[in-house]
């Protein structure tokens, strides 16, 4: 019984922290989609590049991994701008399917470039202010500094983006562009510039997530896929283009992913032997897609979305 209680508390804590990370990863995706209706399949690769940025520049500059985060912001923003000006801008003239294949191609390109430069070996940060530190929040429940920092950064990033969108003139223009691009142009808004801005913000926010993620999650060129898929589910649940939706949905998905351990602990509490094959810990990401499927059927616009 006590094992179950501990597991519930563990799952709640871990779900909340990972949920905030998922939310931060989804933030950039939802901003880009909101402004220009483009689904960026290469989103997870931006995350991967953010992870490598911290991994490589920290020893190179001789500073703690945490201090490389501003560099991640910069790298992500530049990467977003490059992708927009070098590729996406041209895809906009084509049909929807060209846009899908275009960002899919971008994903393969970035992943294989990483493979070429970095090799396939998974790598992680071994030392730093955050690594290996934790504190107890209950009996047998610990809070890892790395995850806590990522969660805090997520909250801060959301506040910054929220402020940008709701309290600044450029944010209003961004909103107008996402609601009706042609209408926004009649207001004198350069929607081209707004698109580029969305890619810069999207790239920066996901790359900075990568910079903290690599403190507790190994990076390899293919790491992006899992996070892209989770980000898609998050954005769909929260509502395409909704920043608030991404925040709430990220937490929900973080908690969902942590349901299987609780279930398994429950089985073990009731009966130690007979129910072994009802354990579902291996299904934790499958559940995310099951939820994604359900949302698409029941509420295609998501929790806070206006687009479908």
Partner 1 sequence: MLEVKGITVRYAGMPVLREVSLQVERGQTVGVVGANGAGKSTLLKAIMGAVRVSGGQILFQGQRIDRLRTEEIVRRGVIYVPEGRRLFGPLSVEENLLLGAFTVREEARKQRNLEHVYTLFPRLAERRSQRVGSMSGGEQQMAAIGRGLMGSPKLLMLDEPSLGLAPKLVSEVFETVRRLQAEGETTVLLVEQNVLEALELSDWAYVLQTGQIRTQGPAREILAADEVQKAFLGM
Nearer to partner 1, 89 or 133 (CB): 89
Number of residues near partner 1 (by CB under 8 A): 17
- Would you count residue 123 as binding partner 1 (CB under 8 A)? no
- The contact pattern for partner 1, residues 152-191, with x = CB under 8 A and - = no contact, is -----------------x--xx-xx--xx-xxxxxxxxx-
Nearer to partner 1, 137 or 170 (CB): 170
Q: How far is the CB of 187 from partner 1 (least distance, A)?
A: 5
Tell the residue number behind the tokens 């483009």, with chain if given: 38
Across 280-300, b (16+ Cβ under 10 Å) vs e yields eeeeebebbeebbeebeeeee
Q: Figure out which of the listed residues 3, 122, 306, 308 binds partner 1, where binding follows CB under 8 A.
A: 306
Task: Answer yes or no: are the C-beta atoms of 32 and 178 closer than 8 Å.
Answer: no
- Would you count residue 121 as binding partner 1 (CB under 8 A)? no
Q: How far is the CB of 190 from partner 1 (least distance, A)?
A: 5
Q: How far is the CB of 175 from partner 1 (least distance, A)?
A: 7
Nearer to partner 1, 59 or 300 (CB): 300
- Would you count residue 138 as binding partner 1 (CB under 8 A)? no
Q: How far is the CB of 40 from partner 1 (least distance, A)?
A: 24
Task: Answer yes or no: are the C-beta atoms of 20 and 254 closer than 8 Å.
Answer: yes
Nearer to partner 1, 269 or 301 (CB): 301
- Would you count residue 85 as binding partner 1 (CB under 8 A)? no
Task: Answer yes or no: are the C-beta atoms of 236 and 55 closer than 8 Å.
Answer: no
> By the criterion CB under 8 A, which residues form the site for partner 1?
169, 172-173, 175-176, 179-180, 182-190, 306
């Amino acid at each position: 019984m006590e094992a179950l209680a501990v597991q519930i508390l563990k799952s709640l804590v871990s779900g909340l922290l990972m949920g905030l990370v998922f939310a931060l990863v989804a933030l950039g995706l939802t901003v880009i989609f909101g402004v220009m209706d483009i689904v960026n399949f290469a989103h997870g690769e931006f995350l991967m590049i953010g992870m490598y940025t911290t991994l490589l520049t920290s020893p190179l500059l001789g500073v703690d991994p945490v201090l490389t985060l501003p560099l991640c912001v910069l790298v992500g923003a530049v990467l977003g701008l490059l992708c927009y000006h070098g590729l996406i801008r041209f895809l906009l003239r084509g049909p929807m399917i060209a846009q899908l294949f275009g960002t899919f191609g971008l994903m393969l390109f970035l992943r294989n470039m990483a493979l070429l430069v970095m090799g396939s070996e998974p790598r992680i940060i071994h030392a730093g202010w955050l690594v290996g530190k934790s504190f107890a929040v209950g009996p047998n429940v610990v809070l890892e500094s790395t995850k806590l920092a990522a969660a805090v950064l997520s909250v801060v990033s959301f506040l910054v983006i929220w402020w940008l969108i709701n309290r600044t003139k450029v944010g209003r223009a961004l909103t107008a562009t996402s609601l009706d691009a042609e209408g926004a142009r009649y207001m004198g808004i350069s929607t081209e510039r707004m698109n580029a801005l969305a890619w810069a913000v999207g790239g920066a926010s996901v790359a900075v997530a990568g910079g903290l993620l690599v403190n507790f999650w190994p990076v390899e060129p293919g790491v992006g896929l899992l996070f892209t898929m989770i980000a898609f589910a998050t954005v769909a649940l929260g509502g395409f283009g909704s920043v608030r939706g991404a925040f709430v949905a990220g937490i929900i998905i973080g908690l969902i992913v942590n349901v299987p351990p609780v279930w398994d602990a429950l089985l073990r509490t009731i009966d130690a032997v007979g129910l072994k094959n009802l354990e579902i810990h291996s299904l934790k990401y499958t559940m995310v897609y099951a939820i994604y499927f359900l949302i698409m059927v029941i509420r295609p616009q998501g929790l806070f979305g206006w687009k479908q």
